[in-house]
């Protein structure tokens, strides 16, 4: 399954899951794309843009560190996903070869159920990527 089809699955989750605020991508040029915001969510676009700018700066710094520490990344392999936890929001980043998929999730959800469901749905049909259980 290609990453575009997986991204479309996440866009579908935004439409049907109350726990997900929005999803967007960040490409290799660190530009935002493919924004999908859940309906009936009191979530402003400028807040999403602020989150994007924060992640963009974070990804730039992280990219510099990876270049410095190539020995570690060579031994551990490529990072697949990461969760950032804040009081008001949870941010799931799924790293693909040509983009980062960013999922904005309510912070008051059960972490293992929500993230397991999203990752399981994203990596469906890719058995070697699907996490059995995060916790």
Confidence of residue 2 (pLDDT cuts 50, 70, 90): low
What are 46-105's pLDDT values in tens digits? Answer: 888 899 998 988 888 876 666 666 666 666 777 788 899 888 889 999 988 888 999 998
Report d(CA 6, CA 125) in Å as an integer.
10
Determine whether 92 is exposed, middle or buried from the number of CB atoms within 10 Å of its CB (0-12, 13-18, 19+).
buried
Report pLDDT digits (tens) over 94-124. 988 888 999 998 888 887 778 877 887 777 7
d(C-alpha 117, C-alpha 132), whole Å: 11
- Report yes or no on whether pTM surpasses 0.75: yes
Residue given tokens 């999403």 in the structure block: 48
At 103 the pLDDT is 92
Q: What is the CATH number of domain 3-122?
A: 3.30.450.30
Written as six digits, the tokens of 41 are 């969510």
């Amino acid at each position: 399954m290609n990453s575009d089809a997986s991204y479309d699955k996440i866009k579908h989750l935004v439409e049907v899951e109350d726990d997900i605020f929005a999803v967007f991508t960040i490409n290799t040029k660190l530009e935002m794309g493919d924004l999908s915001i859940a309906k009936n969510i009191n979530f402003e676009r400028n807040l999403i843009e602020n989150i994007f700018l924060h992640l963009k700066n974070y990804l730039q710094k992280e990219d510099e560190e990876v270049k410095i520490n190539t020995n570690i990344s060579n031994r551990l392999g490529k990072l697949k996903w990461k969760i950032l936890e804040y009081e008001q929001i949870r941010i799931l980043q799924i790293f693909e070869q040509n983009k980062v998929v960013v999922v904005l999730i309510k912070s008051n959800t059960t972490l293992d159920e929500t993230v397991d469901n999203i990752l399981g749905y994203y990596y469906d049909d890719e058995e070697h990527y699907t996490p059995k259980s995060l916790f």
